Chain A
């Protein structure tokens, strides 16, 4: 052994000893195992086969599970005793193999002294030589005695073992009972916990449902607010009414785009005081009036002209009230009331004009009454007067129907002669339109002519007729009145006012000429006036 020579003699001795020890252990030492505190085998020696066997199923490390059933109670007893008392415990057990009984000596002792609380235990199994298996005949008597002793000892041991087993069993039962009770109480606790959990779960579910409801309500509200907000924004964008919302300190809170026209206000001006805008100088007493609104909550309205086009605006200062009624700000609005102002002015003009016309007409009526009657009375004068007033009334009606614009001369003539028999008055003329200033005097003239014809001329008998013609030539208008088939005509002195009236209307009022001739066939009148 070369390596032996290489080492010292001590070393060789030690190595030799180790080799011997290993050999002794492997070949001559009894079977033994080492278990830990959990009774798990941590070491097997050789030749443990007679005492241990692997049970069916998964690999087992528990010593008691590995021990042959016949030895199990004894192994348990020595193991527990050695563990509990930390000392060497020895015990005999019996093993029967092929009707041969063998005695097994089981030794258990802690390894490494009692340093640790739960020491590993070394268990040694020794099969005692079977002395009684083949007793010699001369030993029989001795053997009987020793057999009796052995039996008694065995009985004692069995008794002891039984006692231990009973105690262990009782302990186990007790432990099981208390374990069972503990399990029962744990079960009860678990049940009550479970019930509590169920109740909590239900509460959580109902809470969840409530939250869901609240959430959907909130969603609806948010939608409504969104819609209202969008409506407001669209209203702001679309309205032509300039509106500015101010708070107590005249800070701009909101405005409509139309307000830009008055204050040159921009989106970024929200949050700035209105007074900071240079454009506010166009409204010098605005600030003062706003403070008046705050003071007494009154609505202030006033008109003013603004801008290059001098449009008239109505500015309204209205208190902005909270739901509590407290004044929180002022709403300033500008309405374009130019059309109203214009209409008002126009109305004033129209009223003045109407006044004038009414008074003028009354003056004319008074003049006609005075001139027609001329201090005379009687049915004839009354009829003549009423005829003239009715003629005036007719032409006023016609002009009124045409809204005091130009009217058709044919229509005027037709209306004037209607009362005197249209079948006997033939008309012939262009579609000429005349202004009210011309229509009024012409209708008076036609009335005078028709009245005269009915009284003295072509319409005073049954045979005569009248021819009325008119024509527009350049800027002149001519109108002819010719009577045929009436009584012989002569210039008459009666009703001189009629002739004066006709001539005056044509020559004075219309700036034209009126020619009267007394032809053999009848009266003939030629009127020539400017058309204007």
Chain B
């Protein structure tokens, strides 16, 4: 989905504004394009269909008991790669998503960048 020479577009799904802002700022600084950060499942699915991101960074817990698992399932359907960013342990993921890549919070940016590079080559 990414075209040569064009920076990958990344969707951040995160309920905490500071984290979303910090992530977006770092990604933009590193040369990536970012969609408007989403904090709910509905907003995220809407952005996915509207902005067609090349990958997504998903916070698991979106507050008020909401999780990003349905967003992940939507991304799998659309064959958009994603990585979970979470303070939870990988074992807390539901059965159908245990294969998904997980990065622990707080994540060093270099590690995140490497993961992005792996999921969205070149």
Residues on A lying within 8 angstroms of B by beta carbon are 352, 355-360, 362-364, 366-368, 370-371, 437, 441, 500-501, 504-505, 508-509, 511, 532
Contacts and interface: CB of A to CB of B under 8 A. Distances in A.
B39 A363 contact: no
A371 B22 contact: yes
Interface in B77-94: 86-89, 92
A441 B106 contact: no
B89 A504 contact: no
Contacts of B22: 366-367, 370-371
Interface in B5-62: 15-23, 25-26, 37, 39, 61
B25 A508 contact: no
7 contacts: A356-B61, A366-B22, A367-B21, A370-B25, A501-B18, A505-B17, A508-B39
Nearest to B21: A504
Given A360-B105, A371-B25, A355 B89 contact: yes
B16 A355 contact: no
Given A352-B89, A371-B25, A504 B61 contact: no
B27 to A, nearest CB: 13
B63 interface: yes
Interface string B86-114: 11110010000000000011110000000
Given A500-B21, A532-B64, A360 B16 contact: yes
A357 B87 contact: yes
B40 to A, nearest CB: 8
4 nearest CB pairs, A to B: A359-B87, A367-B22, A356-B87, A504-B17
Interface residues of B, number: 25
Nearest to B39: A508
Contact of A363 (B26, B92, B105): B105
A527 to B, nearest CB: 14
A220 B22 CA distance: 85
B56 to A, nearest CB: 17
A359, A366, A367, A370 pick with most chain B CB within 10 angstroms: A367
A371 B18 CA distance: 8
B17 A441 contact: yes
Nearest to A355: B87
A508 B24 CA distance: 14
B69 to A, nearest CB: 15
B68 to A, nearest CB: 13
A278 to B, nearest CB: 38
| Interface SS of chain A | helix
A509 B16 contact: yes
Nearest to A354: B87
B18 A364 contact: yes
A356 B39 contact: no
A356 B86 contact: yes
Contact of B88 (A355, A371, A501, A532): A355
B3 to A, nearest CB: 29
Given A371-B21, A532-B64, A366 B106 contact: yes
B86 to A, nearest CB: 7
A363 B19 contact: yes
Contacts of A367: 16, 18-19, 21-23
Given A359-B87, A504-B18, 18 more contacts: A352-B88, A358-B87, A359-B104, A359-B106, A360-B19, A362-B106, A363-B106, A364-B18, A364-B19, A367-B16, A367-B21, A371-B21, A371-B22, A500-B21, A501-B17, A501-B18, A504-B17, A508-B39
A349 to B, nearest CB: 10
B60 to A, nearest CB: 8
Nearest to A506: B17
A364 B15 CA distance: 11
B17 A360 contact: no
B82 to A, nearest CB: 18
Contacts of B105: 359-360, 362-363
A532 B25 CA distance: 29
- Tell which of A362, A363, A370 has the most Cβ of chain B within 10 Å: A363
Nearest to B106: A363
Contacts of A360: 16, 19, 61, 87, 105
B37 to A, nearest CB: 7
Contacts of B16: 360, 363-364, 367, 509
A501 B19 CA distance: 11
Contact of A437 (B23, B64, B89, B106): B64
Nearest to B87: A359
B28 to A, nearest CB: 13
B88 A368 contact: no
Among B23, B61, B105, chain A packs the most CB atoms within 10 A around the CB of B105
A504 B105 CA distance: 21
A352 B93 CA distance: 12
Contact of A508 (B17, B89, B92): B17
A372 B116 CA distance: 26
B37 A508 contact: yes
A525 to B, nearest CB: 17
A409 to B, nearest CB: 19
A355 B105 CA distance: 10
Interface centre among B18, B25, B63 (most CB of A within 10 A): B18
Nearest to A392: B18
A362 B89 CA distance: 16
Nearest to A504: B17
B45 to A, nearest CB: 16
Contacts of B88: 352, 355-356
Contacts of B21: 367, 371, 500-501, 504
Contacts of A508: 17, 20, 37, 39
Contacts of B107: 363
B18 A352 contact: no
